[in-house]
Structure 1
């Protein structure tokens, strides 16, 4: 059972109460934020509009020790031109302080954010870098993503087909993944990407999610083509 599933069993009653008392602008409830993040990391919003004829959508997430830095890259191809928009967000200290899900859709408030127009050649370069990194392979079912580690997630919707993949230090050299460089071209946040290193911390069993800052630990598990809920 993943950390999210264990957490859901503990806070089920609180979640019901929160849903009944939710505000139009989203939630500041620290208990509910992990579930919002899970939905975002699973690409639920992309899946919901992934039908033939729609513009291609890309989302990449870099977890550089959850409590230190999380980076997200949302890229949408513009149907009426040979361009795409790349929105890059950098969250410092995890989603406890910076994340919000509005009722109208995902509305993350990042520590730093940039929105840039990238060319079709840049988008092709991202595609090629993903393929070179092994993205076209089937997702690794059962893969565990630890919040206190370094990993990448990528999801793409093209021509109505949704594809999901994740990289950890067990199946890749995180520091040398080819798409890091091409994503940097559309990243104007001004915040340096945290390179992987070996952190020192107590055993995972001694840590817990408290929703009030400090050390946060949870896991997510990859299934056939996304996260296991």
Structure 2
């Protein structure tokens, strides 16, 4: 285990992915090395089989480094797990937890069977359980939804990228935001084409854009 952890940490700078092992994705170090695997739902895919409980992980990327919102629910729980990752707030820095400013803020809200069925229906309507959007690129410096699900024993990974008709037509984002206590802080899509500061940060090597792509059987890095 120590050797595996060491190998993962050695890959931090390249954002190469180690398999998500069910750990705390809110921890910035875990997030750095397991993010691809987490978003792609590798753990969900590994457990998905006939008779397995339904499970869903929806990630709203509202520009990496600015805001990422994670929503998870499954057939075994009666709550919606919400985690929000922001740009980091150094006012929260303390000697007790030096990583505190970059940790995800986690909340759980009650999720009735009716509400869960509504989320499933809205996700199905948007194509969340159907053929994936193969070849769709989901850029870190942009706005998109990524969905990893196990539904009726079948795994699906797909996404919706803004701007697009599919992104605009999807009803599940509004359904999730309505349940989110932090809904007022949701970052809406906005044009990034003239973000000169971002372009300068990339040029200087301060920022490193990356892509997650949708494949036929799962995510493609």
TM-score (norm 2): 0.71
> Where does residue 84 of structure 1 map in the other structure?
78
Deviation of 1:204 after TM superposition, in Å, equals: 5.8
CA distance in 2, matches of 1:26, 1:185: 25
- SS of 2:165's equivalent in the other structure is coil
Q: Is the 8 A contact 1:153 1:165 kept in 2?
A: yes
Distance 1:89 1:29, change over 3 A: closer
- SS of 1:163's equivalent in the other structure is strand
> Where does residue 217 of structure 1 map in the other structure?
209
Match of 2:180 among 181, 184, 187: 187
CA distance in 1, matches of 2:163, 2:190: 14
Deviation of 1:64 after TM superposition, in Å, equals: 0.4
Deviations 1:46-69 (A, max 9, x none): 112212222211110000011210
Q: Is the 8 A contact 1:175 1:195 kept in 2?
A: no
Structure with greater proportional helix content: 2
CA distance in 2, matches of 1:147, 1:204: 13
The unaligned stretches of length 5 or more in structure 2 are 1-6, 13-22, 89-101
Deviations 1:81-101 (A, max 9, x none): xx632101110028xxxxxxx
- SS of 1:207's equivalent in the other structure is helix
CA distance in 2, matches of 1:13, 1:51: 32
> Where does residue 140 of structure 2 map in the other structure?
147
> Where does residue 58 of structure 2 map in the other structure?
60
> Where does residue 49 of structure 1 map in the other structure?
47
Match of 1:115 among 108, 111, 124: 108
Q: Is the 8 A contact 2:130 2:156 kept in 1?
A: no
CA distance in 2, matches of 1:192, 1:129: 22
TM-score (norm 1): 0.69
Distance 1:118 1:208, change over 3 A: farther
CA distance in 1, matches of 2:165, 2:33: 27
CA distance in 1, matches of 2:195, 2:155: 37
Q: Is the 8 A contact 1:208 1:217 kept in 2?
A: no
Does 1:156 pair with 2:152? no
Deviation of 1:201 after TM superposition, in Å, equals: 1.8
Aligned length: 189
Deviation of 1:73 after TM superposition, in Å, equals: 0.3
> Where does residue 74 of structure 1 map in the other structure?
72
Give the root-mean-square deviation of aligned CA atoms: 3.3
CA distance in 2, matches of 1:69, 1:53: 35
> Where does residue 202 of structure 2 map in the other structure?
207
> Using CA pairs below 8 Å that are at least 6 residues apart, which structure has the higher relative contact order?
1
The unaligned stretches of length 5 or more in structure 1 are 1-10, 17-24, 95-107
Q: Is the 8 A contact 1:147 1:219 kept in 2?
A: yes
CA distance in 1, matches of 2:155, 2:131: 12
